Amino acid sequence: MGSNFYIGSFRVCKTQISRLFLQSRLSTRKASGGYKRSCSSLATYHHSASMNVIKMKKLLSLPTLLATITVPVLAHWNYDTLIVNDTPIGSPYQYIRRTNNSNSPLVLVNSTDMRCNSGASSGITTNTSTYHVAAGSEVGFGIASTFGHPGPQQVYLSPVPAGLTAADYDGSGEWVKIYAATTQANTTLGPQGLVWATHNVHSFRFTLPAETPAGEYLLRAEGLALHAAHKLDCAQFYVGCAQIRVTGDGKGVLGPLVRIPGVYNDTEPGVLIPEFWSYMTNYTLPGPELWPEGMEVQHMVKQLSSNQNKG
């Protein structure tokens, strides 16, 4: 604990940060993009992304330096585009709340950032629009740029409480899980263990249940990266919330209902895995059962058709 501390939802290793960023007082340099957090010496620094050039006029304190640097990291991702009926809708972040942490993951499952990500508790401050979609339509998310680590993709839906709009709503109410994609099959093994249906996908599509009652909702995409998840608090969550207004005459009763945070704890199976990911021969998906009853976990991901261009 002495060598680590937390900023927001990120666990940061002082030694690694110091070595990467504070070596020179008056220099222009490039460094690896893995600086946001380090869970151990297992080197999440394998990401080879380069940072934009930083010209340092003086030696900055570590918190100040971290606060001023938000650059994309290779293999990390964002959800930036709403998809409806195999068509990207609008421009990136028009209907999905933009985060303020670049494409950095969340690692603390008890953080309120787990709802819609850092800086995205309000659709008003992010200037996010709400899209009308009929229950029973196919919906989905475009990914910037690809699902870059082994792990599952899940989607949660939360009805907006009475008196609020989707833009007002912070996600503190109840959520139901409506989609999950994991491995191609639990018996499928490749050179690195389980073969993930999510591997390098740039988008995914699924059916918004026809039973969904009319009203406004937050539609939450959650990707879980497991490459370091055999260490406590090292599972990486990538989260994005779309704002939708569902139309139709759906009469379903949502459930089982959960709250975020609260849906996961940091030691439950699927969040903390028993061994390094490439040695796993099976995987337990965390979270509640899918709604509506009878929905099944997917072992193949439907992406945008080849003639469609995300964004």
The structural domains of the chain, with segments of one domain joined by +, span 79-259
- Measured CA to CA, the distance from residue 125 to residue 243 in angstroms comes to 13
* Closest alpha carbon to 141 in 195, 77, 197, 189: 77
Residue 59 vs residues 27, 52, 67, 306: alpha-carbon distances, Å: 10, 18, 14, 49
What is the tens place of the pLDDT at every residue in 123-163?
999 999 999 999 999 999 999 999 999 999 999 999 999 99
Q: What is the 3-state secondary structure (H, E, C) of 117-137?
A: CCCCCCCCCCCCCCEEEECCC
- Measured CA to CA, the distance from residue 157 to residue 245 in angstroms comes to 12
Q: Are 250 and 213 in contact (CB under 8 A)?
A: yes
Token duo for residue 300:
């193949």
> For residue 169, what pLDDT is reported?
98
Residues in the chain with pLDDT < 50?
1-37, 40-69, 311
- Measured CA to CA, the distance from residue 283 to residue 189 in angstroms comes to 12
Determine phi and psi for 174, rounding to 5 degrees. -95, 150
User: Residue 300, Cβ neighbours under 10 Å: how many?
Assistant: 9
Please name every residue paired with 295 in a beta bridge, in sequence order, or none if there are none: none
> For residue 192, what pLDDT is reported?
84
Angle, CA of 124, 147 and 13, to the nearest 5°: 80
> For residue 40, what pLDDT is reported?
40
Burial category of 146 from C-beta neighbours within 10 Å (exposed 0-12, middle 13-18, buried 19 and up): middle
* Closest alpha carbon to 242 in 166, 310, 308, 181: 166
Q: What is the pTM of this model?
A: 0.80
> For residue 189, what pLDDT is reported?
83
DSSP state of 214: S
> For residue 207, what pLDDT is reported?
98
- Measured CA to CA, the distance from residue 217 to residue 126 in angstroms comes to 16
DSSP state of 42: T
> For residue 73, what pLDDT is reported?
74
> For residue 22, what pLDDT is reported?
33
> For residue 70, what pLDDT is reported?
52
**What's the CATH fold of domain 79-259?**
Coagulation Factor XIII; Chain A, domain 1 (2.70.50)
> For residue 14, what pLDDT is reported?
39
Token duo for residue 227:
């490459």
Q: Beta strand pairing status for 28-29 and 174-181? A: unpaired
- Measured CA to CA, the distance from residue 188 to residue 249 in angstroms comes to 40
Q: Is the dihedral of CA 299, 304, 307, 311 positive or negative?
A: negative
Q: Are 45 and 34 in contact (CB under 8 A)?
A: yes
